[in-house]
Amino acid sequence: MNRKEENQMKTITVQKLVDTFKLEVLAGEERMDREITRPRTHRPGLEFVGYFDFFPMNRVQVLGRKEINYLLTLSVEERKLRIGNIVKYHPPCFIVTSGQQEFPYLELYCEEEGIPLLRTEETATEFIAKLDSYLVKALAPEISIHGVCVNVSGIGILLRGKSGIGKSETAHTLIRRGHRLVADDIVVLKKLSPTTLLGTHNETTREFLALRSIGLINVVRQYGRRAFQDETRIVLDIELVPWQENALNNELETVPQCTEYLGVQIPHIEIQLQPGRDVAGLIEAAANNWYLKQLGYSAVDEFMKRIEEEMGS
């Protein structure tokens, strides 16, 4: 299997956040190159009352109305002390939500320490949900592999196989049947959690499908916007392999096979190719079968139960 190495440490800059979320820069403009390495934000509540034992200083600090209103209840000297105690830990940046304007000394301290102070009009709850989701994906460990990624009836599938075996052609058939392309040739896999693997493209190949004898096609231009989506959760790993005459092709696998990517186990299926075989239809069947298993139904289990009932009668 052709894989690229996993990124050891992914980072994004504060400037990237500003550009992505259209944030207003209030202070620390000269330090927009500061790096963000942690995938979740933090609202400093306990820290403002002096408790720093578990302060995640490497995270983006978000200040909502609750935090700013609390600071405004303090005396001038106490406010300066509490703000100074947090700023000295040099988090990547501070973001004030709800378009708030009254935060005495915070802007001054951030300017002095070279820490970007940013502002959004969105509420803390809305903004944190969006930012956390973005950071988890942007900073997730990832690898790139050779293959095709498709979404079949809402189910993310990774198609693998040797070059020229027909992965892209199979994806094209699936697209014509109403399913969606995610990535062709190079698939980027991101680990969002110990059990969640996200498949996406590498931007360069976005919307493109390479078909032998035809060349590149843009699936959105040919088949419409519904023929493509940017990302999908990978739940099936399907490998296309040459037909083997002496292989047992209808075996009942009571123990599922898996492939591991970035430590995430993904159910694995091999589909042997032969002229006239409806490979796209088999992939649709595999996707539907996986979905039924999530609902608690197993055709193998039901079949074995029937055999046992016949033997017992």
| 10, 16, 42, 146: the active-site residue | 146
**What single letter denotes the amino acid at residue 239?**
E
Distance of alpha carbon 158 from alpha carbon 189, whole angstroms: 10
Q: Are strands 94-96 and 117-119 parallel, antiparallel or unpaired?
A: parallel
Structure tokens at 285: 């069947």
Kind and range of the H or E run holding 305: helix 299-312
Catalytically annotated residue among 172, 179, 184, 185 = 185
Determine the distance from the C-alpha atom of residue 159 to the mean position of all C-alpha atoms in its chain, rounded to a whole number.
18
How many whole angstroms separate alpha carbon 275 and alpha carbon 198? 32
Closest by Cα among 17, 24, 30, 46 to 97? 24
Question: Is 22 designated active site?
Answer: no
CA distances from 282 to 106, 191, 245, 254, 273 (A): 61, 27, 19, 19, 11
Instruction: Answer yes or no: 305 catalytic.
Output: no
Q: Return d(Cα 47, Cα 60) in angstroms, integer.
A: 14
Q: Is 80 a catalytic residue?
A: no
Whether residue 279 contacts residue 166, with contact meaning beta carbons closer than 8 Å, is answered with yes
Report residue 294 as tokens. Answer: 């999530």
C-alpha angle 231-236-240 in degrees, rounded to nearest 5? 105
- In this structure, the strands spanning 264-273 and 231-242 are parallel
Tokens, residue 290: 């996986």
Q: Which residues are catalytic?
A: 146, 167, 185
